[in-house]
């Protein structure tokens, strides 16, 4: 086999991990998943759990099934996989089982309606899909999703600097193993706030019954605001014991308003995905206008520099200093998926 490993991360060394010992089950399960979708990857965790040895293989993709632990939702596993999947040898057809919505990671609804469309400007769109077959609420889960991703040879350069204005709002309210009336109550409460802004609001009540609903009761509201330039801002709130559906709904709605107020072309939850694709873009200057980086993004930018040697230029979006937005730009590494030429 002539395919080489991803030479950008081929350095074979023990690297210090997060400051905390690497003992959490879900992190190990994530590495196990990475091993499954690649070929030749070696991952070793030191006895003390504070260092890790990674020897990368090729991203092989294909049909894979993985059971996620109940300590983290499917989103935790799917987010890094979405970053790898377009550069695979074979298109991904990944089945993940576990919790579909929780309060830590993006729910499968947001990944389907917001995360995946973020790949479109980079030339990754045909055949990109996430099917929610079963829902699974914490603590017992029981959900199942199927992630399909096409492969690309290279990533297009992004030039996204016009945030536009919000033209429509979409939402999904789902309720499993509770009264289906709960999703209608959530929708009504969200409308009481959002109706003042625009008429084009469609909030969908997604009811899963019986086996499809998973093993535990739960409900959530996911909201997406789309602008005239196709920028997406999203927010979500998940049921908590003893809190009325109306309050969950208002929490989601107000988070969406905060996200809209922050503005920019990409919301804070998707900064890292977009920045990674920009860094991997063709050898040209990619630009994107976004709000201030989150703590996560700051660490991510440092990791990208250490891994790919690419630094971003981050300057105020307008020189007068009226807008709080920043303009992120970088020179793409011109990454080419060598696997694809063989396929």
Taking the C-alpha atoms of residue 120 and residue 232, their distance in angstroms, rounded to an integer, is: 12
- Binding-residue pattern over the window 30 to 69 for another protein, x denoting contact by CB under 8 A: ----------------------------------------
Q: Does 293 participate in binding another protein (rule CB under 8 A)?
A: yes
* Tokens matching residue 271: 């900064």
What minimum distance in Å lies between the beta carbon of 79 and another protein? 7
Question: Mask of contacts with another protein, 106-145, x by CB under 8 A?
Answer: x---------------------------------------
Among 87, 88, 97, 105, binds another protein (CB under 8 A): 105
Using CA atoms, how far residue 201 sits from 53, 165, 195, 269, 337, in Å, is 49, 15, 8, 22, 40
Q: Which is nearer to another protein, 53 or 198 (CB)?
A: 198
Of the two residues 187 and 275, which places its CB atom closer to another protein in the complex? Answer: 275
Distance CA 5, CA 105 (A): 30
Q: What is the DSSP secondary-structure string of 306-317?
A: HHH----EEEES
**Closest to another protein by CB, 8 or 255:** 255
Measured between alpha carbons, how far is 224 from 206 in angstroms, rounded to an integer? 15
**Chain length of the chain:** 343
Q: Could you give the residue ranges of the DSSP H alpha helices within 263-309?
A: 271-279, 295-308
- With a CB cutoff of 8 Å and minimum separation 6, the contacts of 313 are 328, 329, 330
Residues ≥6 apart with Cβ < 8 Å to 257: 193
196 binds another protein (CB under 8 A): yes
165 binding another protein? (CB under 8 A): yes
Using CB under 8 A, which of 299, 309, 334, 343 touches another protein? 299
Q: Does residue 267 belong to the site contacting another protein (CB under 8 A)?
A: no
Q: Are 96 and 66 in contact (CB under 8 A)?
A: yes
Coil, strand or helix: which one is 339?
A: helix
State the DSSP H helix or E strand holding residue 160, giving kind and residue range, or none if neither.
strand 159-160
Q: Among residues 68, 224, 277, 326, which is the contact residue for another protein, using CB under 8 A? A: 326
Instruction: State the number of binding residues for another protein (CB under 8 A).
Output: 51
Q: Which is nearer to another protein, 4 or 162 (CB)?
A: 162
Interface residue with another protein, options 15, 40, 197, 204 (CB under 8 A): 197
Applying CB under 8 A, which residues contact another protein? 18-20, 75, 79, 103-106, 165-167, 193, 196-199, 228, 236-237, 250-251, 253-255, 257-258, 260-261, 263, 269, 292-296, 298-299, 301-302, 305, 311-316, 321-322, 324, 326
């Amino acid at each position: 086999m002539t395919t080489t490993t991803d030479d950008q991360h081929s350095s074979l060394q023990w690297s210090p991990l997060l400051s905390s010992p690497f003992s959490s089950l879900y992190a190990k399960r994530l590495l196990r998943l990475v091993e499954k979708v690649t070929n030749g990857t070696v991952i070793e965790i030191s006895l003390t759990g504070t260092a890790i040895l990674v020897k990368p293989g090729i991203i092989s993709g294909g049909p894979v099934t993985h059971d996620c632990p109940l300590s983290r939702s499917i989103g935790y596993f799917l987010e890094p996989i979405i970053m790898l999947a377009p550069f695979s040898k074979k298109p991904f057809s990944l089945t993940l089982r576990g919790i579909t919505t929780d309060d830590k990671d993006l729910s499968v609804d947001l990944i389907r309606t917001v995360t995946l469309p973020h790949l479109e400007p980079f030339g990754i769109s045909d055949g990109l899909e996430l099917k929610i077959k079963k829902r699974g609420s914490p603590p017992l889960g029981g959900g199942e999703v199927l992630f399909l991703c096409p492969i690309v040879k290279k990533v297009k350069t992004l030039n996204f600097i016009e945030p536009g204005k919000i033209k429509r709002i979409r939402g999904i309210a789902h309720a499993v193993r509770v009264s289906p009336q709960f999703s209608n109550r959530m929708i009504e409460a969200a409308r009481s706030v959002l109706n003042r802004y625009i008429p084009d609001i469609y909030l969908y009540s997604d009811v899963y019954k019986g086996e499809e609903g998973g093993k535990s009761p739960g409900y959530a509201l996911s909201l997406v605001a789309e602008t005239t330039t196709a920028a997406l801002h999203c927010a979500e709130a998940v049921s908590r014991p003893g809190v009325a559906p109306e309050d969950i709904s208002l929490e989601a709605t107000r988070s969406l308003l905060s996200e809209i107020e922050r503005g920019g072309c990409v919301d804070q939850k998707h900064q890292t995905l977009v920045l990674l694709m920009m860094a991997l873009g063709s050898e040209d200057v990619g630009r994107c206008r976004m709000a201030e980086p989150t703590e996560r993004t700051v660490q991510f930018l440092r990791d990208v520099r250490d891994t790919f040697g690419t630094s971003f230029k981050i300057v105020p979006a307008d020189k007068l200093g009226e807008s709080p937005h920043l303009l992120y730009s970088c020179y793409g590494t011109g990454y080419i998926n060598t696997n694809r030429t063989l396929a």
